[in-house]
Amino acid sequence: MPEERVFLNDGNMYVSNTKVVLHGTTYSTANITSVSKRFTPASKGCAMIFVAVTALVFLGSLGGIKSSQLGASLIVVLVCGAFLAVGVMWLRSLKPTYHVVLASASGEREGMSSKESDVVDRVIDAITNAITHRG
């Protein structure tokens, strides 16, 4: 029996020339024909609605600056400006989800997912090396 060579051993991710263990699920390296990376875009719907509604309220409150209620209008403008800043930060913080997709003779399966592209790239590189090493 050939010696097991480890390509990645990091927490709940283990890749060798004989097996791949991702988040507690074990796959035989002999059954993996290829590995690829896919991503799911972040869902931005709620953040976009929040920014759009805040922007409309902000624009509506600008009209009140010329009225006799200057103090109240300025407070609304400042609060809406703060909410707009929060909404933009929220939009910028949303990240896609990256997936390791394992292909075999029986089809494709999502092996693991992560918000960190580097983690997925490391796993894909290790699995690719394991497939190549097994011959």
Inform me whether the pLDDT recorded for 122 exceeds 90: yes
CB 98 within 8 A of CB 38: yes
In the chain, where are the structural domains located?
6-39+96-134, 45-93
Specify the pLDDT at position 75.
85
Specify the pLDDT at position 1.
52
Inform me whether the pLDDT recorded for 66 exceeds 80: no
What is the average pLDDT value for the chain, to the nearest integer?
89
Q: Return the bridge partners of 101, or none.
A: 36, 110
Domain 6-39+96-134, CATH number (from 2.30.29, 1.10.238, 2.60.120, 1.10.3470): 2.30.29
Specify the pLDDT at position 47.
92
Mean predicted confidence (pLDDT) in 59-64: 77
| pLDDT confidence tier of residue 72, bands split at 50, 70 and 90 | confident
Inform me whether the pLDDT recorded for 6 exceeds 70: yes
Query: Cα(86)–Cα(26) distance, rounded to whole angstroms?
Result: 42
Mean predicted confidence (pLDDT) in 61-67: 72
Specify the pLDDT at position 67.
67
Query: Cα(73)–Cα(28) distance, rounded to whole angstroms?
Result: 66
Specify the pLDDT at position 92.
93
Q: Which of 23, 49, 37 is nearest to 100 (CA)?
A: 37
Helical H segments across 69-113, by residue range: 70-93
